Amino acid sequence: MRRAGILAHPTALPGPGPLGDLGEGAVAFLDWMVEVGVGLWQVLPLHPTGGGLSPYDSPSAFAGGTHLISPHRLVEAGLLEARELVIPFHDGSRVSEAIVRDWQRPLVAEAARRLAEADPDALQRFAEAQPWVQDWALYQALLQAHGVTAWQDLPAPLARRDGRAMAAARKKHQAQVQTEIALQLLFWQQWGQLRSAAHSRGIRILGDVPIFVSGGSCDVWAGRERFKGIEENGRWHPDPIAGVPPDYFSPDGQLWGNPHYDWPAQAREGYAWWVARIRNLFSLVDEVRIDHFRGFVAAWEVARGAPDAKGGHWAAGPGKALFDQLRQELGPLPIFVEDLGEIGPEVHALRKDLGLPGMKILQFGFNGNPHHPFLPHNYDDRRWVVYTGTHDNDTSLGWYRSTDDLTRHRFRVYVARSGEEPHWDLLRMAWSSVADTAVTQLQDLLGLGSEARFNTPGVATGNWAWRALHLPDVHASARLAELTATFGRARPAPR
């Protein structure tokens, strides 16, 4: 079935607060999607963020990102009072880490404390349904109590999860553990309400699963036997670490720093952690994009302490065995894969063997090769997912303005347009292609340039903070609706 999608993380949506959240701004976005006939909303990982608000460097592959909780919804739920919502001055076009840390987090934590006191039975039911939450809540409580940001910096007995130390810590920090469980319950409640609102409007939500987890994450702390690492001076460190070789984005490669999986150890337990992870994700979203799919064939390993990623090597991944296990336990899964970057024939072979769609990025197609696989006239399968650009690309307008003259010329010849509106030209190209699914960034519909870029791979600062001041205007919305209907991608009317 042909369809259209919009890529917009909740933090980037306009709304009444200093960052996009799961409240009325997100519902208004869903209503706008109905108006323009678009039926797919793509989000980035919904977990807690890592450094620089990155959703791809999360301290948990299971927990929900409580920075997404809407304080206004907490007022409606009776957990906060309206007078407590004194919104600080903020730049509406950028999300501030300081505001998240100093305003949003204390507010939602106070609401969580009140929920924990008022309804401990609800917390108990939630913890029974979400077995990961006990480890996550204790992990958070311990980091806060000891003023550290990673479990490796906890006192050694807690870092190695000594039984007596863990029991004593649970007793000592019981109140904070309950607050952390309540925070997760609030996220699950608000996200569940938003997802139900999407479904009632005939909109499906596409989620994202990063292949790796952070070395200082709860996932590693609670199960480091599943990861490659070494002990030094009584401390565990990931070794080797993950990255990617030199590519279009980074001439020195990218040194991500995440630990690598001990795939033989994971296989011995039937990939139970991965099964639980994907099951958990499908309790939040309807479809999933698997990031860095090539890492399941072979991933780039770099020795700990290396200055860059150039000296790494490819190490074998689990291949088909992991996906066979997922299907055996979870059944057929609506997933597609990010098959970009340094891709060899073995990666394409695995994707085809698994019967999974891959991705096409239009911005990469204009190098002068008429047989480039990202150009729409070369698409050999309707199941491709085509993007004007992803969250890792510049906006379409920014890309056009910053690329070289020859690439701009090739683009204008291909689209038979003047280049005055490259964002609309790329959207028309995606929407008119044979690919069943076509996706564009919200920034492209607003006609924004590089100032609205969401992420620049390999750059540590300045990412993940862009936020829309408003939704597309009447003219842009009507134009999108017409193109969506013209090319047979209009969302079916909800029942």
* Strands across the sheet containing 287-290: 335-337, 287-290, 204-209, 40-42, 3-7, 437-441, 385-387, 359-361
Q: Does the annotation mark 392 as catalytic?
A: yes
Catalytic residue of the set 21, 180, 339, 392: 392
DSSP 372: -
Q: How far is CA 365 from CA 4, 134, 339, in A?
A: 20, 47, 15
Q: Which helix (H) or strand (E) holds 40?
A: strand 40-42
Q: How far is CA 491 from CA 144, 359, 382, 445, in A?
A: 46, 21, 18, 18
CA distance 59 to 237: 15
Query: DSSP E strands: which ranges in 239-374?
Result: 241-244, 254-259, 287-290, 298-302, 313-316, 335-337, 359-361
Structure tokens at 230: 């070494």
DSSP 100: I
Q: How far is CA 36 from CA 206, 403, 483, in A?
A: 18, 31, 9
Q: Does the annotation mark 121 as catalytic?
A: no
Residue (of 197, 216, 94) closest to 143 by Cα position: 216
Catalytic residue of the set 135, 219, 338, 444: 338
Catalytic residue of the set 21, 291, 339, 394: 291
Q: Does the annotation mark 436 as catalytic?
A: no
Do the bridges between strand 298-302 and strand 313-316 make them parallel or antiparallel, or are there none, so unpaired? Answer: antiparallel
Please identify every residue annotated as catalytic.
291, 338, 392
